[in-house]
Amino acid sequence: MSLSNPLKKLALCVILDLDGTLLNTDALVSEVLRGVLGKYGKQWDGREVHKTVGKTPLEAAAAIVEDYELPCTANEFMSEMNPIFSKMCSNIKALPGANRLIKHFADHGVPMALASNSLRANIESKFSSHHGWKESFSVIIGGDEVASGKPSPDIFLEAARRLNIEPSGCLVIEDSIPGVTAGKAAGMEVVAVPSIPKQSHLYTSADELINSLLDLRPEKWGLPPFDDWVEGTLPIEPWHIGGPVIKGFGRGSKVLGIPTANLSTEGYSTLLSEHPSGVYFGWAGLSTRGVFKMVMSIGWNPYFNNSEKTIEPWLLHDFAEDFYGEDLSLVVVGYIRPEANFPSLESLIAKIHEDRKIAERALDLPMYSTYKDNPYLKSCVKDGSHI
């Protein structure tokens, strides 16, 4: 999903944002906002999240106070939020690919700086549960250490100064529009990793647009490439999800000729927010039928322009009958590619079948095949089923 020529400039260092880029801060902010707004009789539904992403804490609070017409000032609202947030911020999870990226650059001696609109003290708290992060950065700057936060270029220019590298040699990785604007104003190259779905059209000033950190190709910027891709797949920390099979949009078999088994996303909003949209693969357990290879999509399906994020696994086996209502458990072990739009239905179908071939081959590799015996799958499959 590049926005420009694939031949990029040579980067001498990397400057990373924190919230929404490395950490899934939005999920925690939403949780805290639901509680605090509830005291005012208001309900947080996340629709105004774009007004807070990339802003300083005070700017974000001001936006919430205005939008929800709260009977308090932005500072008063912050004073309610901060104690709750501070207690919980050490538990913010890393976004997929964050640990891999930081370790990769640190192992290869690539200078790194962290430049965040968060207060410096809050950065320290957020880092506390992420082993090795603080030591990996040569420079760490909070929004309270510069005259103006993003979208001002101040924080990025200060990071470059402390790294002793010219701005033109810096590669910024950012999730927010204010962050992208700040990076470009500083004269740096910027890779955007949007944290708000279906907003990529707003990031046209970025030099490159990627779906998640899993999709970063450092070699485009003259940096050491990742060496952990295996036969077109990226091993990931396994995760699982399950529930009864439900009826989907009715286009899997009828339109695509691909019988996907839809899972309800109810109760999994936090889990879905942790994993970027894209194509994954792993093993699927049906309670009365056994364990099978599967490839699945998570996301918005841009060709059909879904309004909600969905999970659509394709069990790679020919079944004689439907299994709606049957319990389905998934263990996700690898990543293939980001979600993408396609110019035609035919090209979409061809890509899905290519994904199937990649997944089928990969799942025969020992590094993936061992998960067929995962306890989570075995616990859902009844005795007597073929495994």
Catalytic residue numbers, as ranges: 17, 19, 312
**95, 107 in Cβ contact below 8 A?**
no
Cα(246)–Cα(161) distance, integer angstroms: 55
Q: How many CB atoms lie within 10 A of CB 169?
A: 17
**118, 168 in Cβ contact below 8 A?**
no
Per-residue tokens: 251: 């286009």
> H helices within the chain, ranges in order?
25-39, 57-67, 74-88, 98-107, 120-127, 133-136, 154-163, 177-185, 269-274, 345-362, 366-369, 375-380
Cα(22)–Cα(173) distance, integer angstroms: 10
- 298 closest CA partner among 96, 98, 100: 96
Cα(175)–Cα(171) distance, integer angstroms: 13
Cα(272)–Cα(299) distance, integer angstroms: 9
Cα(137)–Cα(101) distance, integer angstroms: 12
- Please give the C-alpha separations between residue 157 and each of 9, 123, 147, 152, 199, in angstroms, as whole numbers: 18, 19, 12, 10, 27
Q: In this structure, what DSSP letter does residue 382 have? A: P
Q: In this structure, what DSSP letter does residue 24 have? A: -
Q: How many CB atoms lie within 10 A of CB 184?
A: 19
**16, 130 in Cβ contact below 8 A?**
no
Q: In this structure, what DSSP letter does residue 256 have? A: I
| β-bridge partners, 89 | none
**265, 272 in Cβ contact below 8 A?**
yes
| β-bridge partners, 310 | 299
